[in-house]
Structure 1
C-alpha cells in the first residue's frame, strides 16, 4: 500500500544542510511524544496489544516506502557462558534505534526520513481518534467507563463516562500535537503538523492567525476535499510546483459549494462558482454580504479562472511567489471565516 510521507513530498526542498545538536534533540523529543504519550508499548508492565500493532504497522509501512526489509535489526544476539543467545527486539526499539542513528549520508535526507516516522505515527493516532469519535459508543466503552481508576473522575452515567473518556483521549492527542509543533519552533524548523501531515510554514504570524485555526476547522469529514486541495496547494508552493493558487482557489470553491448544499440553497442550475456565491449572498439567504460576494468573485475571475483553462496562444499565466502566498492566505482566511459562520 502506497503511503504519503514527508520525505517524498519535500524531496526537492532542502530543510537542513548539516546535522546539529538541535536536530538530534528534536528527533528524540518528537519520538518520545509518540512513544511515551501517544503509543506507550507497555501498560502496567505488560505489552499493550494495541501499541504492539501500532508499532508493527508503523515500522512495516515506513520500511516499505524506503525500500528496506526492516528499519533496523529485528533480532539481536549475545553470548553468555560461551553460548549464543538470540532474542527478538520490540518494534518500538527497532524504530527507536533507527531514528537515533547518526547520519550516514545527506543530513537533509536523514532528517526528512525520520520526520516521516513521526508524521506517520501522528497520522495513525489521529485517524484512530477520528474513527473513535465517529462511531457509536459501544457496550465495552460503557463498561470500561463504569470502572473507576485512581485519578480518573467520570460521570455516573456509563454513556456519559464513555464520552468523557473519549474527550480525554482527544484532548491528550491535541496536547501532543501542540507539543510537537512547539518543538518544531524551538528547533527553528519551519514546520507544522496538522490533520495528518507535517508541512512547511512560511510565516509565523500567518501560521498563528490563519493556518492553525484553519486546519482545526477542517477536522470534520465533510471538509475532506477542502483539506486535500489546500494541502496540495501548500505542497506545490513549498516545492515551487505549478499553480498552487489554483488548488487553494479550488478548496475555497468546494467550501462554498458545501455550504450551499448543506443550507439547502443549491438548486441544480448553477454553472460555476459565481452561481454558488450568488446562493450565499442572495437577499433571501444573506449568508455573506454582496460586497463580500463580489470580492470572492473577483478572486475567482482574476486568480482561479486563468489557471483553470488552457492558455491557447496567449502567454501562460503565472503568479509571483508573494502573489501565490497571498492567494493561499486569501483562500484560507475565507474558508475559515465561512465555516465559522455556519
Structure 2
C-alpha cells in the first residue's frame, strides 16, 4: 500500500544544501518527540507489545516507500571471549533501535544532504501521523466511553472501588492524551523554527511554511479547525493546494478554492439551508446570506466571497479556449491560499 511521505512530496523542492550540526540536532530532537509520542517500553522497562508493533509498522512503511529492506542493520553477530573461551553471539536489534540508527545517522559523503534529511523527517512525520490517528479515534470514541462510564457509576458497587466518578476519569484521561499530543506537535514546530527550517507539521503532514506571521495567525488556527472529521475534505484539498504550490505544480489556488467551497457547502448542509437546487458556490453563498436563514453572512461578505470564486476558481478552473492559459504568480497563489484559509476559519467560528 502506498504511503504519502514528506521526502516524496518535496523531492523536487530543495530545502537543504548541507548537513551540519544544526540538522543533526534537529533530527535527534525530532526523533525524541516520536519516542515520547509512541512509547516502546512499559513503565517497568519491558517491551510493550503494542508499541513494538507500531514501530515495526513505521519501519516497514518507510522501507517500502524508500525501496529498501531495512532502515539500518537489524541483525548483529560478533565473537565474545569469556573465561570459558570464544563463542559467537548473534541476534536482532529492537525496532526502535533500528529506526533511531536510521534517523540519527551521519550523512555519507556520497549522498545528497537534502534527500538524506527529507527521508529522515519522513519517519518523524509518519510517527506523529500514527499518534494523531490514535488521538482521532480516541476522540471519536469518547461519547461511547462516557456512556459506559455512566453505566459503571450507576451500577451497584461491590468490593474495593476507585473513589471518584468514572466519567470524570474518562474525560480527564482523554484531555491529558490530547494535551500531550498537542504539546508534541507544538514542540516539533518550535524545533523547526529554532533550526531556521521553513517547515510546519499539521494534521499528519510536514509542509513548507513561508511566512511566520501568516503561519501563527492564519495557518495554525486553520489546521486546528479542520482537524475535526467534519472538515476532512477541506483539510485534504488545502493540503493539496500547499503541495502543488511548494512543488510548482499546476493550479494550487484551484484546490484552495475547493476547500473554501466545501466549507460553505458543509455549513449550508449542517444548518439545514441546502434545498437541492444549488448549481454552484454562488447559490450556497446565497443560502448563508439569506435573511430567511438568519443572515449567517452579511450581503457585502457574500459579494466578496462570490468575487473570490469568480476571479480565482473560475479563472483557473475553466479551459481558456484560444486565450492564453491563465497562470497566477507565486504571490497571487499565496494570497489565494491565505484568503481561503482565513475565510474557512471565520466561517467555522460562526457556526
Gap change, CA 1:138 and 1:264, over 3 Å in 2 = closer
- d(CA) in 2 for partners of 1:257, 1:43: 48
Task: Report the alpha carbon displacement of residue 40 of structure 1 after superposing the two structures with TM.
Answer: 3.9
288, 291, 294: which one aligns with 2:300: 291
Task: Report the alpha carbon displacement of residue 142 of structure 1 after superposing the two structures with TM.
Answer: 9.3
- d(CA) in 2 for partners of 1:312, 1:230: 27
- d(CA) in 2 for partners of 1:183, 1:16: 16
Structure of larger gyration radius: 2
Residue aligning to 2:159: none
- Tell me, yes or no, if the aligned pair for 1:39 and 1:54 is still in contact at 8 Å: no
The within-5 A match list for 1:240-279 is 240-279=248-287
Is 2:83 the counterpart of 1:116? Answer: no
- d(CA) in 1 for partners of 2:163, 2:278: 49
Residue aligning to 1:224: 232
Q: TM-score, normalised by structure 2?
A: 0.92
- Tell me, yes or no, if the aligned pair for 1:58 and 1:121 is still in contact at 8 Å: yes
Residue aligning to 1:158: 166
- d(CA) in 2 for partners of 1:269, 1:180: 46
82, 88, 93: which one aligns with 2:92: 88
* Number of residue-to-residue matches in the alignment: 334
- d(CA) in 2 for partners of 1:50, 1:138: 24
Is 2:346 the counterpart of 1:333? Answer: no
- d(CA) in 1 for partners of 2:246, 2:264: 26
Output one character per residue of 1:115-140: Cα deviation in whole Å (capped at 9) or x when no partner. Answer: 00000000000001101111221899
Give 3-state SS (helix, strand or coil) of 1:137's partner.
helix
Gap change, CA 1:155 and 1:292, over 3 Å in 2 = farther
**Structure 2 gaps, min length 5:** 154-161
Residue aligning to 2:311: 302
**Structure 1 gaps, min length 5:** 146-153
**Deviating 4+ runs (over 6 angstroms):** 138-143
- d(CA) in 2 for partners of 1:33, 1:280: 43
Gap change, CA 1:307 and 1:298, over 3 Å in 2 = same
- d(CA) in 2 for partners of 1:260, 1:139: 31
Say what the alpha-carbon RMSD is for the aligned residues. 1.9
Range 104-113 or range 302-311, more displaced: 302-311
Give 3-state SS (helix, strand or coil) of 2:307's partner.
helix
- Tell me, yes or no, if the aligned pair for 2:37 and 2:184 is still in contact at 8 Å: yes
- Tell me, yes or no, if the aligned pair for 1:266 and 1:276 is still in contact at 8 Å: yes
Give 3-state SS (helix, strand or coil) of 1:226's partner.
helix
- d(CA) in 2 for partners of 1:139, 1:296: 42
- d(CA) in 2 for partners of 1:39, 1:199: 25
Task: Report the alpha carbon displacement of residue 78 of structure 1 after superposing the two structures with TM.
Answer: 2.3
